[in-house]
Every structure is written in C-alpha cells, then in structure tokens.
Structure 1
Amino acid sequence: MAGSAMSRGNSDWTKSLSDAQPVPYWLDDPGRPRPEAALTGAETCDLLVVGGGYSGLWTALIAKEREPERDVVLVEGREIGWAASGRNGGFCAASLTHGLSNGLTRWPDEIHKLEQLGARNLDEIEAAVARYSLDCEFERTGEIDVATETYQAWELRDWYQELEREGLADGLDLLDADEIRAQVDSPTFQGGLYDRRGVAMVHPAKLAWGLKRACAQLGVRVYEHTPALDLKPYGAGMAVRTPYGSIRARKVALGTNIFPNLVKRVRAYTVPVYDYALMTEPLTAEQLGAIGWKNRQGLGDSANQFHYFRLSADNRILWGGYDAIYPYGGQVRAEYDDRPETYAKLAGHFFTCFPQLEGVRFSHAWGGAIDTCSRFSAFFGTAHQGRVSYAAGYTGLGVGATRFGAEVMLDLLAGERTERTELEMVRKKPLPFPPEPFAWTGIALTKWSLARADERGGRRNLWLRTMDKLGLGFDS
C-alpha cells in the first residue's frame, strides 16, 4: 500500500493517536510474569544459552528435550521477551527463508527441502504449544499477500503460475479483487495470494513467557537481568562473565541476534533496522462487520515498503511496517523505539486502507530493532573449536524460524551431520555489511530506490537491479 494508494487522506486521523501509549501492546499485560533473579556468584553447566528471546528459549527447551539429563542455564540481559520477541506482529510463518521468493532466488536447488523443513518446524511449534499448554493465542489462520495496485495483482498472478511450475503452489490460492474483498474488505484491495496453512498468529509475548515456563519445568535454570559481558575459553569449555558472577560451560549457544555478538567477527553480518507498529482499541461487532474480516488471517501488502496487519484475540487490529529505519552507525538505543513521525504516517495509511473504521483510535504505538542480514534469512556458525554456536539475521521473520535455528545450533554443538547442517543455507554465510559511511549510504540509496519502484509500477532502477544480481536486495 505504498505510493499513490497510500498518499490520500487528511490530518483528521492524527486525533486517533492522541491516547496511544508508547509501549508494546503485547508487553502491556497485567499477567506479565515477574522476572527471575539475576545470577550472583559462580555457576557451572553443560550448556549455557545466552539470550532470552525465542532463539535462546527454543534452544534451551529443545536441548532438554533431546537430553533430559543435560544441565542447561539460560541468561537474559533484561527480561524474557522484552525485545523483538515481545514486540513483533505475531506472524509465526513456516518459511525459513524470509518468504518463498527469497528462498527460491537464493537456494533454488534446496527450496523443496527448505519448504518441507519449514512446514515440519511449524507443525512442531504447534505441537509444543499443545504439549506444554502454552497460552499464546496460537491460531493457524494463514496469511494473504494483498495487491493494492494493478501491477501488484499481475505480479501475484505471475508468481503463482511460477510456483505451480515449480511444484510449490500446494496450499496457495490466487484471489481476484472480489475474492480478496470477500475475505477482508478494503477499497484498496485488488487481488491476493492466500497461504492457508503456512502461517499462524500468536501473542508474541505470551509465547516467550510460556516457553520460559516450559524451560523451567524441564529444569533449565533461568537468570534474568544478567547480561553476558564476555566469552573466553576456559580449559575444555568456555567462561562467561556477568555483572555479579560468572558461568563455566562445556558448550555455549548464542541467541543474541541484534545485540552485539560475543563472537566479534559475527557482528559485521547484521545491522539493526527499526520497525514500528500501531494497535487499535478493540473493534465492536459492527466495526468488525464493516470490514468483513471473518477468518482472522494475517495480511501483508505486496509493495516494497509493505504493511503487515492482523487481529488480536480481543479484535484489535495491529498495523505495522512500511518504514524501516536504519540508524547511522548501527546503534541499538532505547530512544529509537519511539518514532511519532512514523506513527502518524502509519495511521494515515490505516484509514486509507479501512475508511469504514473512521473514528477508531489507537491504544498503543511502539517500535523495536530487527536483526537484518544481507540475505534476509538466518545464518549460522561455530567458534572456539566448535564449543560455541550462533544464529542471527532473521530479518523480522523469526517467530517461527528461530525454532529451526535452535535445532541447527544444537546440531552444530553436537558436531552432527544432519539434514539441517548439510543445507547450503546453513553452511554458507551472507555477505557482511561494509563499514560506515558505506553501510548507511547503501541502505539509504536502496530504500529510496524501493520507494521509487513502488511509485513507478514496480519498475526497479539500475541500483536495485545491481543489488539483485549481487544477492543484496532489501525490503522493509
């Protein structure tokens, strides 16, 4: 919904933001669990997991499932789920490759295997939700890619036909304008591609909190407000220093994602991109009926600068995306989590999409950092003679893929050759980002070019075509 479709409207919608709290809706919950105590003194364990988001939580949980007698410790610098895992849109996708298009472009020989592994991974997440009674509002509703311009509808049709030729269209339905508006009614919708099984909706913070509880039930020792300050070899294992103590571990798994990796050479592979979202007040039955959103699917539009939107359990609409802000120097700072100029832009886009909802107000507005890498899907590796493993670079699609990444990290620590570790996607790294000012300049030029492409019927300029050839595309 970029370009002309989202440029209309007036300033009346700014009133909708007057009561919006600048905090993530998901974390603004009276049932939020109390944090565990910080680590004090010295600890020892078989496996230390650093990071209390999805990446670390799945790693700790699966480690105990694989070997119940393994002694596992997890440390989190602040509180479980406070960063990306508690701020995202709650789209839990089967894709391991940041979408099928990205995967087919980068790993055409592996894409069928990657799709199979991704579908299995989502099934295993659903099974874990049931097994551990995770109260995370898991709904396997699917997702619709929406065309809001004529050229986007043509592109979706061409893409669907290509997937049919590749044998990858199972579970996908191509929708015309009438069919998409029968699913969700917006005057901007001109077509859609409905993935009926490949995406679930979750309450992201409750998923993190539930995984924390499940880890504790299996015997994982969880310490919050315990940042890992450094990582060094110690005898046959590793040692990590924390503010009030230290931990010696035989193996270490790093799930710190956007935050500085304790293996310094990994840091050049990721940059932070800030994403922002709004949440409405709960819709009335009449308001919900006005837009005909009957099946609770997730939606995302097809522009380069895209929006994602979904319903919460209490029928609020989460509306996010479009702006992707890279701060010069790649700093991760709390002040970047709040950006009123983006909230105003998103609000205007919302009411262009759903003019039937005039008068609806937003209750929450927030942002957070995404760990982006140059290929838009996670990369993996080891350090210190295989005693340390890491995964990072999920680029905003890690709610589901982090569980797969946890499996990979544990496979690598075990020194095992598995169907996961044999993947080219796992064996090879993306290109690192250049130092400043080149990183900022390149990202700014790419973002400008993508916005121009949205305004020019999808036509990509020389810069974007060159980036595509180098495998360095970029989207919001």
Structure 2
Amino acid sequence: MSGSELNGIPLTPDFANGGVSFWYRQIGLPARRAALPGSRDYDVAIVGGGYTGMWTAYYLKKAQPDLRIAILEKEFAGFGASGRNGGWLSAEFAGSRERHAAARGRQSMIDLQHAMFTAVDEVIEVTRAEGIEADVHKGGLVHVATNPAQNRRMHAELADLRTWGFGEEDMRLLTREEQEERISVAGALSAIYSPHCARIQPAKLASGLAGTVEALGVDIFEGTTVTEIRPRGAGEKGRASAVTSNGTVTADYVIRATEGFTAGIKGQHRQWLPMNSSMIVTEPLPDEVWERIGWRGQELLGDQAHAYCYAQRTADGRIAIGGRGVPYRFGSRTDVRGATQPRTVAALRSILTTLFPATAGARIQHAWCGVLGVPRDWCSTVHLDHETGLGWAGGYVGSGVTTTNLAGRTLRDLVLRRDTELTALPWVGRQVRQWEPEPLRWIGVQMIYTMFRAADRHENAQMARTSAYARLADLISGR
C-alpha cells in the first residue's frame, strides 16, 4: 500500500489533518444557517448547538409545541464534540457511582444507570421515528484487558458492577472462544461484553437532529457567539438573557449546553476543564484484513489502559480509533479547529497496530481532535434554577453521546416543572467546585496524564497490579 507518509506513518494521498472530523468529511459540511439578526425574545434560549442543546429543544417542542425556542451556536450545529466523537452510543456514565449515590441514596444511582440503558434505545428509536440515517448498529461493547494489571482491574470492576445492579444480561465476562469469535485483539487476556451500546456516525446524527428540530419550529442561529449569560433581574426586561455578538436574547429560561467550550463564556472560565481527545481513521480495509480481525458484530471496542483508547468498525469498513493526545491547553484554550499533532497521530497508529497487527499496512486517511467538558469531580450534572431562569447540562467526560439525550429529557421536565423519575435522579442539581486557577490547572493536568502514561508503560511490562503512578494520578485528579 503505497502513498505519502507523516513521520513514517503511511497516509492515503488525500490525508486530512484537522479542520473538521472525518465524519463531516464523509458527508460534507452543512450549509450555514443565518446568524441572529438582532435582539429577540423567546420562551427558552439554548446556548450551544450540540447534542445537549438539540435534544433539549427536541423534547421541549414535542411536549409543548407552542414554546418559542432558539438555539444560539457560535459555529454550526454539531461543530463541537457532537460531530467529532468516537460514535459510542453507550450506557457508560461519567463519574463516581459512590459520589452520585451520596446525594440521594444507592438506589438512585442504580436508577440512573438503568436510565442510561433506556437512553441508548431511546436515541435509536428517535432516529427511526424521525428518519435520521446515522449508521446505527446496536452490536454492544467489548472491553479488553491486554496485560495482567488490566486483567486484575477488569475483574475487580466487574465484581463491583454486580453490587450496583449489573446482571449477566448487562455486563459479562466472555470466554476465550467468545472473545476470539467477536474481535481478535492481539494480546487480549480477557474481555467483557455489554449489549447496551450502539455504533453511530456522529455527524449524521448531529445533522439529522438539527434538521429535525428546525422542522419542529426551533430557530437555530449559527455564527452567533454568546459572550455572557445573565440571570433574571440582571438582564433586559428582568428576564434571563444571553448576550451575543449580534444582540441580546431574552427568555424565561436560558440553558447552557456548551460542554468543552464553556470556558469562553464570561464567568465560566474555571467551571469545566476542556479536555482534548484525538482520533484517526484508516482507509477502508480489505476483506483479508477483516478475516484476521473478525469484528463481524460491529461492536464498539475499548481497553483497560489508564490513557485508554476507544474504537469502532465504521459502516464502510474502516477502523476509527481515538485517545488522549495533548490533553489540555494552558488557560482552558481549545484546539485549533481540529488540527492534530503528528506525535498524536503516531501514538494512535501505534495503538491500532498493536491491537490489530493485520492493520500494519493500512494507511491513515484522516486525523482530528476536539474537546470534552470535565467537572472538578469528573461527575456529569444537569440543573435548572427557577429563580434565576438559568440551567445547564454537561461535564460528560467523553461519555456524552447517550448522556446528552438523558439530559435533554431531564431539562424538558425541569423547564415544564414536572416532578418525574428523571428529575429525581442523583445528577440533577449537583453542585461542583471550580477548577484551580492557572498555572495550577495546567500543571495538575500535565502531571496526571504523564503519570497515567507512565502507569501504562509499567503495566505493559507485565506488572500484576495497578501501577502506583495511576493511583497517585487518580488522587490528584479527584476522580
């Protein structure tokens, strides 16, 4: 397989690095919608045109069609993590189960996990009902352990999940034969499987959602930068408001749905840390490579490393794989429109060929990155204050594809003042302290991921237990 190279990495002739994700390169960038034409008044204003904002608008409009709803987006709907992620429609939920349980009891956390199971199927059902073609395939999720420490950790985590209500039908250990039948991963010592996960094409879902909510009567204003969100009493007409580059939008409720871009809003600089994640995608792989790998069930794939990876077999026969590149930029800056460093491409390529030696000759066609939101305690939250008229959801720590749907339905119930099972879940109303100021924030994150990478190196040298580096990194991070 000949072609150009990047530091020895074989690339397709049309290799692209940055700008947009492969997902948008595949379907083409959407035509830009008009910007906010001036100050306007709505019932609900949503800041951020990603999954959270669009799901919230969708469910509010479905529940009460006469609501006047606007989505305010700096770039275009689906520009951020919603159009750049790994395509895991997964029931995994960010944060410590113990911390969530401390808020409203152990059963409330079990209820939250079951709500996530349901949310996977809810997203699939909405795509079918609304005619959104997003390459959805519910093949489940496989996590592999590739060294003794990972193997020990995986078995301990599975035992812990049993105490949180996970039955064999939710998560189970695969036999060696089952593991090889599903996906042949080099060096895999064990694997667990969960059916609660589906593959999606992220940009197709984002684009389809945007068209769906627009057809319901939601106004989507793109190219509109929100600089400040003001509570009732501090904005115009005594209502909550979103101050933009093109005018001020007043509303009964203003919902912040900005995830990794939250730091760009006045007063929110230390709220959520924008963590960077990167991806590469191969060219379509030939049949002989797939014969060696298997992966016929098109499950999602992850590992038990501390600087973990996530992967999918795409609908057109590629492997898309991601992980941490440069984890954080000083001052909560975000990536330069998706550009990815050559060393990150090399690191992800190395993970790919280590897990799947049959891909050694495959060329890389695209590389990109994006940011996700990380709260100080690494636990997702959803909140609405009826006094101020302000609400938010996010801090998904990379597990947002499904969680955004649960957030949208929960925000619907909160806005409409419904007392439901969703509003009783323990992530609702959770208050989290801010991140430390710079340079402590930057130093801390660099230390954490340096230690995680060191821990992975030590464990790959066949350590039997989790590295002390990882335990120290977890302590510093507050996970």
TM-score (norm. length: structure 2): 0.88
Match of 1:45 in 2: 42
Whether the 8 Å contact between 1:185 and 1:292 is mirrored in structure 2 is yes
Q: Secondary structure at the match of 1:29?
A: helix
Residues 26-425 of structure 1: matches in 2 within 5 Å?
Answer: 26-97=23-94, 102-103=96-97, 106-107=100-101, 109=106, 110-169=108-167, 170-196=169-195, 198-232=196-230, 233-260=235-262, 264-323=266-325, 325-334=327-336, 337-382=339-384, 385-425=387-427
Cα displacement (A) at 1:330? 1.4
Structure 1: distance between partners of 2:337 and 2:205: 26
Closer/same/farther in 2, CA of residues 406 and 325 from structure 1, 3 Å limit: same
Secondary structure class of the residue paired with 1:419: coil
- Match of 1:146, SS state, is strand
Q: Which whole-Å deviations, capped at 9, do the CAs of 1:304-354 have from their partners, x for residues lacking one?
A: 111111111101100111435111221124167321111011112211221
Q: What is the alpha-carbon distance in structure 2 between the residues aligned to residue 438 and residue 148 of structure 1?
A: 34
* Cα distance, 1:79–1:182 mapped onto 2, change above 3 Å: same
Measure, in 2, the Cα distance between the counterparts of 1:138 and 1:428: 32
Code of the residue aligned with 2:158 in structure 1: it is Y
Q: Which runs of 5+ in 2 are unaligned?
A: 1-5
CA contact (8 A) 2:144 2:302 kept: yes
Measure, in 2, the Cα distance between the counterparts of 1:141 and 1:20.
29
**Are 1:277 and 1:365, in contact at CA under 8 Å, matched by a contact in 2?**
yes
Residue aligning to 2:446? 444
What is the identity, as a one-letter code, of the residue corresponding to 1:321?
A: G
Alignment partner of 2:15: what SS?
A: coil
- Structure 1 SS opposite 2:79: coil
User: Which stretch has the larger CA shift, 226-235 or 187-196?
Assistant: 226-235
What amino acid is the match of 1:250?
D
Question: One-letter code of the match for 1:15?
Answer: P
Quickly say closer, same or farther: Cα 1:124–1:335, change in 2 above 3 A.
Answer: closer
Question: Equivalent residue of 1:334, what SS?
Answer: coil
Name the stretch that deviates more: 168-177 or 102-111. Answer: 102-111
Which structure 1 residue ranges, 5 or more long, are not aligned? 1-10
CA contact (8 A) 1:179 1:191 kept: no
In the aligned structure 2, how far is the partner of 1:217 from the partner of 1:383?
29
Q: CA RMSD in A?
A: 2.5
The amino acid that maps onto 1:346 is: L
Measure the CA separation in 2 of the matches of 1:113 and 1:244: 42
Asked if 1 retains the 8 angstrom alpha-carbon contact of 2:7 and 2:342, the reply is no
Aligned counterparts of 2:265 and 2:100: Cα–Cα separation in 1: 26
1:114-163 deviation digits (Å, cap 9, x = unpaired): 11211222222111111111111111111111111123223322332333
CA distance in 2, matches of 1:37, 1:434: 38
SS where residue 427 of structure 1 aligns?
Answer: coil
The equivalent of 1:427 in structure 2 is 429
Structure 1: which amino acid aligns with 2:31?
Answer: R
Aligned pairs, number: 458
Query: So what's the TM-score if we normalise by structure 1?
Result: 0.89
Aligned to 2:31, the other structure's residue is in SS state coil
Describe the shift of the 1:16–1:353 C-alpha distance in structure 2 as closer, same or farther (beyond 3 A): farther
